[in-house]
Amino acid sequence: MHLSIWTAVLLGLVLTPALADNHQQTEISKKISIGGGYQIMTINRKWLVASIEQKTNHEYWKTIWNYDTGFVATKVLPERACYVSIMNRTEMPSFDGLPQLAADLRNQRHPRPPGKEITFTLIRRAIRDLQSYGPDIFSTCTGLSTYVAYEVHGPQFNLGSCLKLDVLQYLALTYCHNDNFV
Ligand SMILES: *[C@@H]1O[C@H](CO)[C@@H](O)[C@H](O)[C@H]1NC(C)=O
């Protein structure tokens, strides 16, 4: 019995500084080069928000995953558009799994296609209360053309023109302008 108490005390002494350290670091950021550009992943543990942005010579996009409000917003330039969707938590990586995902990231000269894909159809709509989606999404999407993105499943026809974003070689977010709805 004494032994187990001492073990617990010792473990406590060893673990406490490590945990304290972890909590102080509210933001993790990692940059990798992919093909001709790079992607930066940022995880904010305090706000439960992750963002991934990609910059190449001809393209810029940033996707924000707000695990607190449960929304995903993706800003795409030069389209100057912002696609907002409800986060499907069964398809997205868990928030707690993101640090490991960041740790596993490696620079890629020849990127592989991601193993998972989520496809959305877009409806152009002015989003009145952008603030309720969280401050990051608000600041990212303010002033852009906003679209509501609805997930689609199964084989799709007439999806229109699609834009596929390879996020960290892990997840493809494909946004399609369904011309039938315009
Ligand atoms: C969320 O993802 C699951 C698994 O792919 C799917 O079955 C479900 O329909 C999705 N929910 C929505 C609202 O699209």
- Which of ligand 1's atoms lies nearest the C-alpha of 91? 2
Q: Does the CB atom of residue 91 touch ligand 1 within 6 A?
A: yes
The whole-number pLDDT of residue 178 equals 73
Identify the segments of the chain with pLDDT beneath 70.
Answer: 1-24, 156-157, 179-182
Q: How far apart are CA 130 and CA 6, in angstroms?
A: 53
**How far is Cα 30 from Cα 41, in angstroms, rounded to an integer?**
5
**From CA 137, how far away is CA 146, in angstroms rounded?**
11
Q: How many helices (DSSP H) and strands (DSSP E) are in the chain?
A: 3, 10
Distance, CA of 169 to CA of 93 (rounded, Å): 13
CB of 117 closer than 6 A to ligand 1? no
Residues 34, 169: Cα–Cα separation, whole Å: 9
Which two three-digit tokens encode residue 89? 């938590």
| pLDDT tens string 112-156 | 788 899 999 999 888 888 999 989 999 999 999 999 999 998 776
Q: What is the pLDDT of residue 107?
A: 83
